[in-house]
């Protein structure tokens, strides 16, 4: 696998948004895929295709429906505009955040943008891990999506996060993507020292390494 190609294919950004509930941080990933919007939408919403690159998802993936990602978050679909966009709550460990997915044409391909939004007051992990806490997890998901779209098959079991992270390619990907989130956080105005500390904690966590001292 060409790790650097996949790392560099993702645009990463950190921003803010004012919600009715308060100030929120926004972690954004964007990647172009060599397929059309309709196929990309199906890959992201079809319960038969989601396990091939992401995870099994049960429930009603329609406006107002609820869903459960196996071993991960649950939530409610808040808006749905096939094949262009949806928004949903992302509920995990007692915390509620939001995801927004939008798809657009990009030349002869299609671009996916994912925004993960969390209230500042509720984001207990941010001081230690920064944007990479959720960002790196989505990085790995978008990589799985790329593999699925390129091959038409499910990602191999060895790609699953807990196994792949122990390989040389996996460790390199996590390091390089973590550096991408460091750069995005600094570009958003965070001090280099605190952004570096957050990036190192995130990289160690996803690699399964001891936390840095």
pLDDT value of position 129: 98
Q: Where are the domains of the chain?
A: 3-207
Is the CB of residue 194 less than 8 Å from the CB of residue 186? no
- Cα–Cα distance, 190 to 88 (Å, whole number): 28
> Which structure tokens are listed for 23?
């100030």
What's the distance, CA 89 to chain centroid? 14
> Which structure tokens are listed for 110?
């299609």
pTM over 0.85: yes
- Cα–Cα distance, 181 to 187 (Å, whole number): 10
> Which structure tokens are listed for 152?
């038409």
pLDDT value of position 81: 98
CATH topology of domain 3-207: Alpha-D-Glucose-1,6-Bisphosphate; Chain A, domain 4 (3.30.530)
pLDDT value of position 213: 85
What tens-digit pLDDT sequence spans the chain (213 residues)?
A: 678 899 999 999 999 999 999 999 999 999 999 999 999 999 999 999 999 999 999 999 999 999 999 999 999 999 999 999 999 999 999 999 999 999 999 999 999 999 999 999 988 899 999 999 999 999 999 999 999 999 999 998 888 767 888 899 999 999 999 999 999 999 999 999 999 999 999 999 999 999 998
CA dihedral 7, 11, 14, 20 (to 10 degrees): -120
pLDDT value of position 161: 61
- Cα–Cα distance, 129 to 122 (Å, whole number): 14
pLDDT value of position 157: 83
């Amino acid at each position: 696998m060409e790790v650097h190609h996949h790392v560099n294919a993702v645009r990463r950004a950190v921003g803010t948004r004012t919600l009715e509930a308060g100030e929120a941080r926004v972690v954004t990933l964007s990647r172009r895929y060599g397929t059309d919007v309709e196929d990309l939408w199906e890959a992201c919403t079809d319960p038969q295709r989601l396990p091939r690159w992401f995870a099994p998802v049960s429930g009603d993936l329609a406006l107002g429906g609820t869903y459960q990602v196996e071993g991960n978050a649950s939530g409610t679909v808040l808006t749905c505009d096939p094949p262009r966009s949806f928004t949903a709550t992302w509920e995990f460990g007692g915390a509620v955040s939001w995801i927004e997915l939008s798809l657009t044409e990009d030349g002869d391909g299609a671009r996916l943008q994912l925004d993960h939004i969390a209230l500042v007051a509720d984001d207990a992990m941010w001081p230690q891990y920064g944007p990479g806490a959720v960002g790196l997890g989505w990085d790995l998901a978008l990589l799985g999506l790329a593999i699925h779209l390129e091959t038409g098959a499910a990602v191999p079991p060895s790609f699953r996060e807990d196994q792949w992270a122990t390989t040389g390619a996996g460790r390199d990907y996590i390091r390089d993507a973590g550096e991408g989130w460091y750069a995005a956080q600094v570009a958003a105005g965070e001090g280099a020292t605190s952004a570096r500390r957050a990036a190192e904690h995130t990289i160690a966590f996803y690699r399964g390494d001891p936390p840095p001292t």
